[in-house]
């Protein structure tokens, strides 16, 4: 009986020692596992935070670009409208110029051509008169007794042209003969130009209206981008809260796991002590089977309570992870919506 009790004592001491080793290893590896889980979740949240920040910065750049495009489109719209107004105002003037060039001016030139022969006759008379006046001069010496008086007189006219005046007038008349027909030949082209200017003015005015429509659409996108940016900022705050909750819950789980292993380690003292007493062949009060059964029941209840606390902590960590995943999904959906709106 003594040998059997000692054998049982040795087994109980070994079981207690193994339990202490398992408790220590469990506390160490549980802490490592919780830390690894925390690092993974924090890395995911940090990546989501960076993605949201990058998306927010991209939306801010798009918003600034849209504002510049809005200002540019406003300027272009005003410029095109002014060009259209200028063309419309120029069209009547070109019509008047066309009428004057193709009707009034040729008629006037034909009247001038008709009067050219008369003007040439008048020019010949003027030319003859000027030549005679140019030749009119006195250069003589009058002798009066002993005195000689020189007498010199002219009109101061020196007229000796290379071409007679009437020939020049006739040359001008001959050069003007084809001009009326040439000016009338421009009527079709000038009328076409007037019509084209009106069409161009209409097209430019329509273009100005289209630019105004595009500008209105661009202006509507800016408040929408502001809403996206505000939502992304809220998501950034939500991610920060989720990170804090995850870290807090993981810390709780770590402490619970460590406490559970320590509690389990404390309960290994009893079998070591009983095994020592049995190995030392000392009397142990009470039936050993009953004591072991009682200790087993108490240990089972405490282990069950520790497992329940660990499950509660695991559920809290899972809820925090689910919240972080939901927040990440929402951030991705908003980023996709912002990318679609930008495209």
Quote the pLDDT of residue 285. Answer: 45
> Any idea what the Cα angle at residue 310 is, between residues 307 and 316, rounded to 5°?
145
DSSP string, 36-104: HHHHHHHHHHHHHHHHHHHHHHHHHHHHHHHHHHHHHHHHHHHHHHHHHHHHHHHHHHHHHHHHIIIII
Strand partners, 143: 148
Tell me, rounded to whole angstroms, the distance of Cα 162 from its chain centroid.
77
pLDDT digits (tens, 9 = 90+) for 203-262: 888 888 888 888 888 888 888 878 888 888 888 788 778 777 777 777 777 777 777 878
pLDDT digits (tens, 9 = 90+) for 325-340: 666 566 556 656 655 6
Percentages helix, strand, coil for the chain, rounded to the nearest 5? 85, 5, 10
**Alpha-carbon distance 109 to 102, whole Å?**
11
Q: What residue ranges define each of the domains in the chain, with the CATH number in brackets?
A: 2-88+204-342 (1.20.1260)
Measure Cα distances from 197 to 192, 202, 210, 225 in Å.
Answer: 9, 9, 20, 42
Task: Using DSSP, state whether 138 is helix, strand or coil.
Answer: strand
> What does pTM read for this prediction?
0.46
Closest alpha carbon to 3 in 281, 315, 343, 295: 281
């Amino acid at each position: 009986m003594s040998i059997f009790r000692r054998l049982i004592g040795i087994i109980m001491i070994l079981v207690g020692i193994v339990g202490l080793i398992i408790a220590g290893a469990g506390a160490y590896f549980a802490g490592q596992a919780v830390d690894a889980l925390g690092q993974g979740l924090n890395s995911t949240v940090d990546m989501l935070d960076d993605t949201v920040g990058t998306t927010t910065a991209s939306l801010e750049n798009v918003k600034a670009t849209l504002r510049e495009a809005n200002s540019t489109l406003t300027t272009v719209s005003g410029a095109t409208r002014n060009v259209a107004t200028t063309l419309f105002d120029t069209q009547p003037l070109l019509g008047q110029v066309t009428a004057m060039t193709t009707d009034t001016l040729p008629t006037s030139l034909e009247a001038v051509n008709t009067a050219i022969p008369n003007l040439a006759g008048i020019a010949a008379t003027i030319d003859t008169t000027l030549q005679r006046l140019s030749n009119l001069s006195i250069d003589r010496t009058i002798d009066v007794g002993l005195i000689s008086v020189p007498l010199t007189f002219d009109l101061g006219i020196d007229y000796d042209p290379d071409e007679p005046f009437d020939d020049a007038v006739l040359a001008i008349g001959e050069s003007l003969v084809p001009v009326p027909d040439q000016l009338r030949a421009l009527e079709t082209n000038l009328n076409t130009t007037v019509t084209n200017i009106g069409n161009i003015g209409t097209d430019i005015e329509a273009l100005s209206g289209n630019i105004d429509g595009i500008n209105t659409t661009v202006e509507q996108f800016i408040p929408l981008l502001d809403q996206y940016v505000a939502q992304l900022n809220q998501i950034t705050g939500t991610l920060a809260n989720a990170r804090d909750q995850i870290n807090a819950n993981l810390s709780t789980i770590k402490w619970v796991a460590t406490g559970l292993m320590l509690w389990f380690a404390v309960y290994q003292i009893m079998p070591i002590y009983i095994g020592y007493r049995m190995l030392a062949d000392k009397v142990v009060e009470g039936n050993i089977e009953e004591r072991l059964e009682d200790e087993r029941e108490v240990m089972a209840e405490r282990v069950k309570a520790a497992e329940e606390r660990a499950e509660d902590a695991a559920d809290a960590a899972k809820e925090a992870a689910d919240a972080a995943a939901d927040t990440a999904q929402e951030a991705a959906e908003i980023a996709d919506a912002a990318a679609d709106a930008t495209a």
